[in-house]
Structures are given as structure tokens and as C-alpha cells.
Homo-oligomer: A and B are copies of this chain.
Amino acid sequence: MIDITKPFVIYATCTVEYEGRACSTLDEGNYIILYKKDKSLLIHSGDKSTPINYQPSGTLLHLDGQQILARRKSEMIKITMRQIIHYACLENWSINELKIRKTERELVNKIVNNMSDYIDREGVVTCEYPTELGKIDIMLEEKGGVKHIIEVKRCKATINHCVQLEKYYNAIGEPQSRLYIAAPSIANSALNYAKSKNIKYIEVLFD
């Protein structure tokens, strides 16, 4: 009945045992079992977005009566099914890429590739500029030594984002540094706060 050579979904009353990087057991219950084209195996409980147990790509299945043995390198999952409530073979399961847009990265790239549109100074541009307090999204260093610190947000900029920027300012420890918050929009309160702290707001929009 079950064809373990093809991707499938099973809804079954079962127990699950795992042995490998750790050991684990799962009490009997009704769980969803997914077997994918890339030979990854997922066992999903009735909550959480992560599987309650899984085996990565490259897992080989052996079916022995009501028992599924899933092996991969030195790892093993044993599923003992008391009752199969539901089984479906998944023909032509698609493998596609998710196209992600409107990320912070996209805005960072836009600024870096058109720096002169946003800051009228020349210098060395560094992304992910490291400091004790984490990475600065964009750093523009003039030859003269003046540093321009740009914090990029993909959504509306808030006061908290400005505070974060000031922390970087202190971490850098160079009073002549200049601060910028770049985002598609900025909250009114944040804009007032920014002005009072000499932080310049840069409007940067998604294409």
C-alpha cells in the first residue's frame, strides 16, 4: 500500500524513536509524516512550525510491516505505526525557490550602489562594519577620517533605531562622526528625536 520510493504524506497513530546526535522518544499520538523528494523526513506534531522530529536530506527508508526505519549516516529514526489514518503519494511535488523582496539587504545595496545620491561625500564604503556592539549596516569613511554611520531599516524608522545608532556612535568613539538613519519612512516622534540628536534621516524606497 505504502510506496516508500516516492514522496508521501502519512497521518498515523504512532510512536517515534530517534538515535544519533542525541536520543529521543515521542509518546504515541497522531502525527503527520512527510517524506520529500530530496529524501528528507519530517514528523509534525499538532503545534509549532518546526517538526517535532526530522531527518535531513539523504535519508533512506525501509518499510517493515507497520514500521518505518529511516537511516542517514549515523542517525536513525524508527516510526512504529499502530494505525494509518491517512496516506497519500505526492506525485510531482514542486521544488521552487521563494523569491524574497523588500529586505533590508535590498535597501543597503541600493544605498551603496548610489551613495552619492544620499551622502555628498567621497570615501571608502564598508557594509557590516564591525564594532563591539554589533555591526554597522553601512560605514562611509572619508580620507580625512570623518566617519559616516548609516543604520538601515526596511520598515518605518523609530526612536529605538535612533538610540541604536547613538550606541554605535559611542562605540566608535570619534566625536566628529556623523549619523544617518535610512528607511522608507520615519515616525514623527523619531524624526523630532533624530533632529535633536543631529541624526539625519535618509529616505530610501523599495524599487
Contact = CB atoms under 8 A, between A and B. Distances in A.
A103 B21 CA distance: 8
B49 A54 contact: yes
B23 A100 contact: yes
A46 B97 CA distance: 11
Contact of A38 (B25, B38, B48, B88): B48
A47 B52 contact: no
A90 B11 contact: yes
Interface in A43-70: 44-49, 51-54, 56-57
A46 B11 contact: no
Interface stretch (A27-35, A129-137, A179-187): A27-35
A99 interface: yes
A80 B125 CA distance: 43
Interface string A81-123: 0000010101111111011111100000000000000000000
Contacts of A52: 96, 98
A74 B101 CA distance: 16
A42 B9 CA distance: 14
Given A34-B44, A47-B36, A53-B98, A22 B103 contact: yes
Q: How large is the interface on A (under 10, 10 to 19, 20 to 34, 35 or more residues)?
A: 35 or more
Nearest to A46: B93
A46 B36 contact: yes
A67 to B, nearest CB: 19
Given A32-B9, A96-B27, A47 B57 contact: yes
A31 B102 contact: no
Given A31-B93, A36-B47, A86-B88, 13 more contacts: A22-B100, A22-B103, A22-B154, A23-B101, A24-B101, A25-B101, A26-B96, A32-B90, A40-B48, A42-B49, A45-B96, A46-B95, A49-B51
